[in-house]
Amino acid sequence: LVHHRNLLIVTNNINVANILAVNPECQVIVTGGTLRRSDGGLIGDLATQTIQQFKFDLAIVGCSALDQDGDMLDFDIQEVNVSKSIIRQARMTYLVADHSKFQRTAPGRIASLSEIDTFFTDRPLADMLRSKCDEWGTEVVVAQPDED
């Protein structure tokens, strides 16, 4: 996104906003909310209310865990609510989650992979979850490492 032009980007993460701030061709809006110091996330009602003011062409979300049923999970219930709002307001949603999230558990449910258009990850999924994604129409893209 750093090199794209004419984008309006809404983020609930101050670290993401700082990375994108170097691109004068993009407008960056930060949601506001309570700062989660561990990762720069902005959470809570203010973040959720700001997100609800927009309709996104594309949303990019993450999660802390992804269970065998294809549920996206998180440890922070306020982050769960923010992520749910983002998905609800998006025409298309991408999930980005590496293999460390597979078969991990967390208490808060964000959504099912059935609600995601494309899932980007770094390792192939287990056969059962891959079959579910095929059934749901969720595209799975396994990223290849850079060959430097």
Q: Which two tokens stand for residue 67?
A: 């269970």
CA distances to 58, 81, 146 from 37, in Å: 26, 18, 31
**Whether pLDDT at 147 is above 80:** no
Residue 2 has pLDDT above 70, yes or no: no
SS3 132: helix
Tens digits of residue pLDDT in 93-141: 999 999 999 978 999 999 999 999 999 999 999 999 999 999 999 999 9
Residue 74's H or E segment, with its range, is strand 71-74
Residue percentage of the chain with pLDDT more than 90: 89
What residues are paired with 95 via a beta bridge? 61, 119
Q: Nearest-5° angle of CA 92, CA 96, CA 97? A: 145
**In terms of Cα–Cα distance, which of 1, 22, 34 is closest to 13?**
34
Q: How confident is the model at residue 139, as a pLDDT?
A: 98
Q: Which residue has the tokens 């979300």?
A: 61
